[in-house]
Amino acid sequence: MKRLAWRRLLAGATLVVLVLPLLAACTTVAVPTEMAAVPAGPVQGGTWTEASSADGTILNPILASDAASFDMMPYFPGLLGTNPKTGAVEATEMAESWTVSEDSLVWTFNLRPGVTWSDGEAVDAHDFKFTYNAIASELVETPRKANVAGIESIEVIDDLTVRVTFTDLKCDGLLDLGLGWLPSHLYAEDFSDIMDSPLNTAPTVTAEAFGFKEWQRDNFIAMESNDGFWKGAPNMDGQIIRVIPEASSRLASLEKGEIDVMGLEPTQLTRVGLNPDLNIFKFKDDGYSYIGLNQANPANPLPGQDEDGNLVEQDPHPILSDKMVRKAMAHSLDYEAIINKVYLGQGYKLASNVLPAVGWAHDASIEPYAYDLEAAAALLNEAGWTDSDGDGVRECNGCATAEAGVTLSLNLKTNAGNSTREELGVLVQDQLNSIGFDIEFEAIEFGTLVGELLGQTYEMVIIGWTGLGTDPNDDSFWHSKFDTPGSGFNFVSYQNPRVDELLELGLETPGCAAEDRAPYYYEIQQIIHDEIPYLFVTGSIGNVGYSNRWEGIDPGTWSFSWNIHEWALTE
Amino acid sequence: MTRYIIRRLLQAIPTLLGISLLGFTLIKVAPGDYVLMSTFDPSITAEVRDELRQQLGHDQPIPIQYVEWLTGVSLRGGDVVDAMAPMSKNCHSFGSLGFTFCDRGGGLLRWDLGYSLATKEPVWDMLRSRMPASFELGVVVLVLTFLFGVPLGFLGALFRGSAKDQGIRLLSVAGQAVPNFWMGLICIFVFSVLLGWLPVGGRMTISLDMKFSLVDRIRHLILPSFVLSLGGVAFLTKLVRTQVLEVIAQDYLRTARAKGLGSLALWTRHVLRNAMLPLATVLGPAIVGVISGALVIETIFAWPGVGRLTWFSALQRDYPMIMGAVMFYSALTILGYLISDILYAAIDPRIRL
């Protein structure tokens, strides 16, 4: 479920609010008709309350790595905005405009004048430079170092102009510049106080719609509205995020009016739908669920490339390295039934790796695999996997990848506690076993699963991606250079030199125009669809339940609360 | 008695060191690690993960990491003073011996549980900040458990075989059999959603201009303390009932009765005192439970206690935080059993410490 972190991507015009004089109080004075017709301004006051399943860890945008923390720190301005409906990059945040060099390596951003921190200091190019230099500093321990890996230099031309030079052309490089800026005037110039600064738990200034008020760990965080917000003072007094780990308790709180919004699970949709005080916002999320098929031998994980960048031949998985077996699996799953029974209709069939949400790069002409048990059985027979002893499990009788007599037995894992994935696992086990597989399914603790996944010591895994963002580049899943046991995300050991080449071309397209990049991603999707390193189970549909006591809420796929400063109580 | 307590406390030191070694090894050999968990993000490269591991010292062998956690001293092979200096106070290279020695500060031996990897806050501060909530709930649960468990057990024994006894036994079995997460959710649905009498969860009503209100705190305490004490009340009722039945069957009680001892004196001086002995065994660990939190109830009722902190730290593989919690619980448990032993001696004069 995509969280409400999109709030950071505030965009849109400021609503100018005119508050009528308190004429109504003067009951003896006749109100002229013309004046009575003037609409009243938005109601002022009230507190917007959200529920989060987990507490944040730290309120510093360059140290945090979890969604809950980013939700809890809408204080730090960002360089670029995102259109809440389309996901397109827009000049709606600190960057008012920008120019790009011909080789697309040098980006010069003109910053918005007049934006200040709540203590009166200007938000300017020095804050941007300080933030990114801090990430690069050896004094700062942060997983965000990837954000500066492709940056050659950052120059402050003047207070409101900053120039970023990238080392290599990377069409999704702008996403690296998306972190919130730190108020540089509150930190030591040498970054020595960043790791243990008290500001990490209690930021004293803000340049966004809300400012920090109080944080009680594992309980709540309270934020007050920032009247000096450059897009306009919020109508509400502030917002609170309550930490409520249990989904049923969150729903009870929403129904009782103790919170105003929460991400809904499919089982909660009916109750919220029947409640006249609540609305539901449904959207195609930027994520999907899949079954990863490890094509290499889990007993002998090898990197995809050697130190010189040459492909390393993998020790193949005795069953899953056979494309015909993978294709048979793809035909054995009843996606319609899975989406309806497991996801309660909150999903959609998916043919390949680029989501419809990234419209310009998504190839809608590729059809998802059809549920066709006859075709699946024929493929397995053709591949040399037959049930010669009549025990219901096929064995290798002339197969290409395993020794004769090896049974079609595989282990399928997922993370325990995720009831949807656990249900999916049982259904998949049932459906694959029905055509002669012998699937052992187990749900294990998430940390353990992550260890096995990245260590590439598993065979099949049910997992999903979320927050894939607005760019179609997903080289970390498919490029052989990211097949690095222990840490790479190409943990299915997928190797295809053409896909490696296409991914590089898609990222390094001169000018980075969508129409020039799209053909590369179309071809990638077709190859991924044909070679089946993943069984694409369903695209994610997100549902947000929210109270109708607020007006002005205009949620988009990429941001629910982009215009939160305009929201007001209905009465 | 004082010598006994001092001896037991001294004995606790090697026990705690042993627990720390075992605990540290177990969490380190468990699959998954903090760096993987905090960077389970495809946009983060393997190089970044390796650099982070190096900065945190997680690339070192487990014994070296243990020594570092225990003493705050880092040991590395070769001359790596330049690389280590930014993260340490003092670094010296012992060229002839081929290693670098750095003082990172902290360490259990210096009475410092270190910093949480996730929040960068001192582990002890994080534990301490959750204790009031756990303590508040724990004390109320402990009081409720003894307030209802002991009298119900006595009543059951007093009216043995009667309808009252049957009713109490039924409640006792039900109280132990019903899972508290289910009872919690049912209570929320009935008392909060349907009837609207009590808040769904949390420790207080949260608003931008919060002020302390005892009534509000009590309203928030009712459901979690009721649900959490059910199991304890049921257990204690059963224990006390069995114990009292055992005591009243003893010869010395018949003798006392034959000597003409009054009913009140009989029950308070002979039955109650003897039946309380096993309670002392329960009370020590129960006191530990007061501070150590209750994961399930804290989760369902959004109660910001120590249990949830420990659980989430384990999920995140936040090693210093997990070790801090392990040491804290271990020390409390040792203390709990010491209290049990002291109570035992206080109740039963035959026992000498």
Q: CA triplet A449, A450, A456: central angle to 5 degrees?
A: 90
Task: Write down the pTM of the prediction.
Answer: 0.84
Furthest-apart CA atoms within chain A: distance in Å = 99
Cβ atoms of B275 and B240 closer than 8 Å: yes
A17 CA: distance to closest CA in chain B (Å): 23
Distance, CA of A315 to chain centre: 33
Task: Please report which helix (H) or strand (E) contains residue A155, including its range.
Answer: strand A151-158
Give per-residue pLDDT as tens, A98-127: 999 988 899 999 999 999 999 999 999 999
Question: In chain A, whose CA is at the least distance from the CA of B116?
Answer: A57
- Nearest CA to A398 out of A386, A390, A410 is that of A386
User: B299, A245: Cβ pair inside 8 Å?
Assistant: yes
User: Percentage of residues in chain B with pLDDT exceeding 90?
Assistant: 44
**What is the per-residue pLDDT for B352?**
66
Cβ atoms of B278 and B235 closer than 8 Å: no
Question: In chain B, whose CA is at the least distance from the CA of A483?
Answer: B46
Residue A237 contacts B, CB cutoff 8 Å: yes
Which residues 6+ apart lie within 8 Å of B220 measured at CB? B198, B199, B201, B202, B203, B204, B205
Tokens for A77?
A: 């301005």
B17 CA: distance to closest CA in chain A (Å): 26
Cβ atoms of B335 and B16 closer than 8 Å: no
Q: Which amino acid is it at B249?
A: A
Name every chain A residue with its beta carbon within 8 A of the beta carbon of B47. 149
Confidence of residue B353 (pLDDT cuts 50, 70, 90): low
Name every chain B residue with its beta carbon within 8 A of the beta carbon of A244. 201-202, 302
Rounded Cα gap, residues B157 and A424, in angstroms: 51
Confidence of residue B293 (pLDDT cuts 50, 70, 90): low
Question: In chain A, whose CA is at the least distance from the CA of B37?
Answer: A447
Of B31, B47, B301, the CB nearest to A452: B31
Give the other-Cβ count within 10 Å of B285's Cβ: 15
Question: In chain A, whose CA is at the least distance from the CA of B121?
Answer: A196
Cβ atoms of B246 and B161 closer than 8 Å: no
Mean pLDDT of B134-147: 92
Res. B89: pLDDT tops 80: no
Of B50, B206, B300, the CB nearest to A249: B300
Give per-residue pLDDT as tens, B14-72: 999 999 999 999 999 887 789 888 888 887 888 888 888 888 889 899 999 999 999 98
Q: Please tell me which residue, B275 or B152, carries the higher pLDDT value.
A: B152
What is the full DSSP assignment across A262-298? EEPPGGGHHHHHT-TTEEEEEEEEEEEEEEEE--B-T
Name every chain A residue with its beta carbon within 8 A of the beta carbon of B208. 47, 213, 222, 224, 237-238, 240
Question: In chain A, whose CA is at the least distance from the CA of B55?
Answer: A141
What does pLDDT average to over chain B?
87
Name every chain A residue with its beta carbon within 8 A of the beta carbon of B41. 65, 143
**What is the per-residue pLDDT for A225?**
97
Cβ atoms of A69 and A142 closer than 8 Å: no
Which of A69, A151, A201, A249 to substitute to test the interface with B, most B CBs within 10 Å? A249
Of B40, B200, B304, the CB nearest to A450: B40
Bridge partners (DSSP) listed for residue A259: none
Residue A498 contacts B, CB cutoff 8 Å: no
Q: Is A104 helix (H, G, I), strand (E, B) or coil?
A: coil
- Nearest CA to A570 out of A22, A134, A44 is that of A44
Rounded Cα gap, residues A385 and A398, in angstroms: 7
Name every chain A residue with its beta carbon within 8 A of the beta carbon of B33. 451
Rounded Cα gap, residues A212 and A59, in angstroms: 10
**What is the per-residue pLDDT for A38?**
54
Q: Which amino acid is it at A26?
A: C
Give per-residue pLDDT as tens, B192-202: 999 999 999 99
Q: In A309-445, which ranges are continuous DSSP H helix?
A: 323-332, 335-341, 373-382, 419-433
The dihedral over CA atoms of A220, A226, A227, A232, expressed in degrees to the nearest 10, equals -110
User: B304, A446: Cβ pair inside 8 Å?
Assistant: no
Distance, CA of A393 to chain centre: 39
Tokens for B13?
A: 């030191």
Buried-state track B188-218, b at ≥16 Cβ within 10 A, e below 16: bbebbeeeeebbbbbbbebebeeeeeeeeee
Computed over its alpha carbons, how large is the radius of gyration of chain B? 26
**What is the per-residue pLDDT for B271?**
83
Q: Which strands form A95-100's sheet, in the order they lie side by side? A: A95-100, A106-111, A161-166, A151-158
3-state helix, strand, coil in chain B (%, to 5): 70, 5, 25
The low-confidence residues of chain A, meaning pLDDT below 50, are: 1-36
Name every chain A residue with its beta carbon within 8 A of the beta carbon of B197. none
Quote the strand ranges of A423-533, DSSP E.
438-444, 460-465
Q: Is the dihedral of CA A276, A282, A287, A293 positive or negative?
A: positive
Cβ atoms of A345 and A323 closer than 8 Å: no
Of A218, A255, A447, the CB nearest to B37: A447
Tokens for A179?
A: 């972190």
Name every chain B residue with its beta carbon within 8 A of the beta carbon of A465. 42
Of B44, B86, B118, the CB nearest to A139: B86
Which pairs from B182-188 meet CB under 8 Å and 24+ separation?
Answer: B183/B227, B183/B230, B184/B223, B184/B224, B184/B227, B184/B296, B184/B297, B184/B300, B184/B301, B185/A248, B185/A249, B185/B300, B187/B223, B187/B226, B187/B227, B188/A248, B188/A249, B188/A252, B188/B223, B188/B300, B188/B301
Q: Please tell me which residue, A8 or B289, carries the higher pLDDT value.
A: B289
**What is the per-residue pLDDT for A25?**
33
Least confident of A456-470, B231-245, B284-298: B284-298
Bridge partners (DSSP) listed for residue B94: B99
Residue A466 contacts B, CB cutoff 8 Å: no
Give the other-Cβ count within 10 Å of A481's Cβ: 19
At A341, give phi and psi (nearest 5°).
Answer: -85, -45
Which of B33, B35, B38, B45 to substitute to test the interface with A, most A CBs within 10 Å? B45
Name every chain B residue with its beta carbon within 8 A of the beta carbon of A486. 46
User: A248, B126: Cβ pair inside 8 Å?
Assistant: no
Q: Which amino acid is it at A431?
A: Q
- Nearest CA to A524 out of A388, A346, A355, A353 is that of A353
Furthest-apart CA atoms within chain B: distance in Å = 88
Q: Please tell me which residue, B10 or A366, carries the higher pLDDT value.
A: A366
Give per-residue pLDDT as tens, A231-265: 999 999 999 999 999 999 999 999 999 999 999 99
User: B47, A55: Cβ pair inside 8 Å?
Assistant: no
How many residues are present in chain B? 353
Question: In chain B, whose CA is at the least distance from the CA of A52?
Answer: B302
Name every chain A residue with its beta carbon within 8 A of the beta carbon of B46. 482, 484, 486-488
User: A488, B46: Cβ pair inside 8 Å?
Assistant: yes
**What is the per-residue pLDDT for A467?**
86
What is the full DSSP assignment across B256-294? HHHTT--HHHIIIIIIIHHHTHHHHHHHHHHHHHHHH--
Tokens for A473?
A: 């580049």
Name every chain A residue with its beta carbon within 8 A of the beta carbon of B301. 249
Mean pLDDT of B164-168: 92
**What is the per-residue pLDDT for A37?**
53
Mean pLDDT of B258-268: 78
Question: In chain A, whose CA is at the least distance from the CA of B50?
Answer: A487
Name every chain A residue with its beta carbon within 8 A of the beta carbon of B179. none
